[in-house]
Amino acid sequence: MLNINPQYLVDEKGEKTGALLSIKEYQTLMQRLEDLEDMLEMDIAVQTETDFRDYQDIRDELIKEGKL
């Protein structure tokens, strides 16, 4: 479970205008966001991919082309 404890910044009317996080909380939040983006991109790639190739075939092709 994510443990974030923001401190809120308020204006003169008492309305929240921002939030303050510790560096550790911010870094944790950013890492989780990046992980989520990676998972969503992987889901999209798997759903849209129609032609998978065997790793060994790709490796052999790259060797033949002198790229590996």
Query: Cβ distance 22 to 4 under 8 Å?
Result: no
**Measured between alpha carbons, how far is 26 from 20 in angstroms, rounded to an integer?**
9
1-60 pLDDT, tens digit per residue, is 788 999 999 999 999 999 999 999 999 999 999 999 999 999 998 888 777 788 999 999
- The sign of the dihedral angle between the CA atoms of 56, 59, 64, 68 is negative
Residue with tokens 């560096």: 23
Q: Which amino acid is at 31?
A: Q
pLDDT score for 36 = 96
pLDDT higher than threshold 90 for residue 61: yes
